[in-house]
Amino acid sequence: MRNLEEVQVVVLMGGLGTRLKEYTKECPKSLVPVNSKPFFDYELELLTQWGFRRFLFLIGYHAEMISDYYGDGSARGISIEYCMDGEKLLGTGGAVRRALPYLDEDFLLIYGDSFMDINYEESVYRYFHGKESGHRALMTVLRNKDLFDKSNVIMQDNEIVLYDKHHTVPEMDYIDYGVCMYERSLFESYEEDVPFDIAEIQTELSKKGQLSAHIVTKRFYEIGSPESLKEFEAYARFRFEEQHPAVFLDRDGVINEIVYNEDTELLDSAANVSQFHMFPYAPSVISQLKQKGYYVFVVTNQPGAAKGKTTPFNLYDINTLLCELTEVDDVFTCMHYPEKLPMSREPYLIRTCDCRKPKPGLLKRAMERYRIDVSRSYMVGDSFTDVLAGKAAGVKTILLGGMRCDVCERLSGNKPDHILKDLSEVIGVIP
């Protein structure tokens, strides 16, 4: 997998913002102020936290305001290049085609008027994974059921069978989410300065079976209309201005059963979706914690792919399922493992990292992305490594599995705040 630092992020920012005209008369849509900060700052900060460093902004309407404000990006530790739309409105495809000389061989494309909080590492992984079997682009899709807009994607076994936004049929229950990856060569056959919609390319690839999917589970925000702008303002206030407490949950043994591996005769983590069995009480406990006003995050070590027992693909699928079946706000996964084992097939996952518990990196990452009231937060896990990670991050800790004396011994000076039987009991302890 390619490092996100190396991946070029192309941002479509040329739009006129006609539906927002009371805001965009004197300013481009991406710079519309949201709680006293330009809108696109929220997305750019998120992308920078994920590790992206190389940006290409496609600008047109009020172009100079965008380039004056963001400059070359060095103040934010990133690099930003610009490509100007011409006189003519080119549509999304035409704008990208015009930027051909600036494009990497593979690039990520997003819209400058949307806030898209997804697992970008997963998008990049799935894109390059798909390329190995001849795919040429990736589309993020959300199970929509016509909630936000008309659904336009048919999925089968987590694969895109058809994307068509002009001819929608009842079988469509997913919608394109707005984050895509492309091969540059897809744009080479188009003539310069001829307008076209990028959806043309996507529809054609979907019919040829060359469009990879990344299923995302969180809604997106855009500022296309005054109503949706208000909606994002409220969300941004909740997430980036107010502090809220969080419950961090370990996954295996807490939310889902540990799996007995017949080959090794050892207990292990689920290697694929069919081995993932949630404890029956888990979804309801998570939803009760949400009702009490907590964020619920899953923080989990999953070294299975690094060890060669499964693939990142399978691990991502399990996370997607978990997010579909429960109300967890986010899943933070450490896929690293410090030593190379004979079956390791993903060399980039073999390293000493700062996220493998007992290190607090996964909790710290959540604290970077959300404003968390640390003093009122909890870590819940069934291993001493969970307790140590929670202590290192400064939250209260709950150890599950009260009978495990060996665990308590290993924790000698680091006793958890509570020892409980299982997750169903935390509701009685967390206020």
* Catalytic residue ranges: 250, 252
Residues 142-171 that bind Mg ion (CB under 5 A): none
Q: Considering only 39-47, 247-255, 289-297, 309-317, which stretch makes contact with Mg ion by CB under 5 A?
A: 247-255
CB of 307 to Mg ion, least distance (A): 16
Q: Considering only 166-174, 202-210, 245-253, 364-372, which stretch makes contact with Mg ion by CB under 5 A?
A: 245-253
Q: Considering only 23-31, 91-99, 162-170, 243-251, which stretch makes contact with Mg ion by CB under 5 A?
A: 243-251
CB of 250 to Mg ion, least distance (A): 4
Could you say whether residue 304 binds Mg ion (CB under 5 A)? no
Residues 378-397 that bind Mg ion (CB under 5 A): 382
Could you say whether residue 253 binds Mg ion (CB under 5 A)? yes
Give the total of residues touching Mg ion (CB under 5 A): 4
Q: Considering only 134-142, 244-252, 264-272, 287-295, which stretch makes contact with Mg ion by CB under 5 A?
A: 244-252
Rank residues 85 and 382 by Cβ distance to Mg ion and give the closer one.
382
Rank residues 103 and 296 by Cβ distance to Mg ion and give the closer one.
296
Rank residues 245 and 253 by Cβ distance to Mg ion and give the closer one.
253
Could you say whether residue 416 binds Mg ion (CB under 5 A)? no
Rank residues 15 and 381 by Cβ distance to Mg ion and give the closer one.
381
* 3-state SS track over the chain: CCCHHHCEEEEECCCCCHHHHHHHCCCCHHHCEECCEEHHHHHHHHHHHHCCCEEEEEECCCHHHHHHHHCCCHHHCCEEEEEECCCCCCHHHHHHHHCHHHCCCEEEEEECCEECCCCHHHHHHHHHHHHCCCCCEEEEEEECCCCCCCCCEEEECCEEEEECCCCCCCCCCEEEEEEEEEECHHHHCCCCCCCCCCHHHHHHHHHHCCEEEEEECCCCEECCCHHHHHHHHHHHHHHHHCCECEEEECCECCCECCEEECCCCEEECCCCHHHCCECCCHHHHHHHHHHCCCEEEEEEECCCCCCCCCCHHHHHHHHHHHHHHCCCCEEEEECCECCCCCCCCCHHHECCCCCCCCCCHHHHHHHHHCCECHHHCEEEECCHHHHHHHHHHCCEEEEECCCCHHHHHHCCCCCCCEEECCHHHHHHCCC
Candidate list 106, 122, 252, 329; residue touching Mg ion; CB under 5 A? 252
Residue nearest to Mg ion (CB): 253
Rank residues 117 and 252 by Cβ distance to Mg ion and give the closer one.
252
CB of 159 to Mg ion, least distance (A): 31
Candidate list 250, 329, 330, 425; residue touching Mg ion; CB under 5 A? 250
Distances (CA, A) of 189 to 94, 135, 201: 12, 17, 11
CB of 350 to Mg ion, least distance (A): 22
CB of 429 to Mg ion, least distance (A): 18
CB of 38 to Mg ion, least distance (A): 42
Greatest alpha-carbon span in the chain: 73
Summarize as ranges the residues that interact with Mg ion (CB under 5 A).
250, 252-253, 382
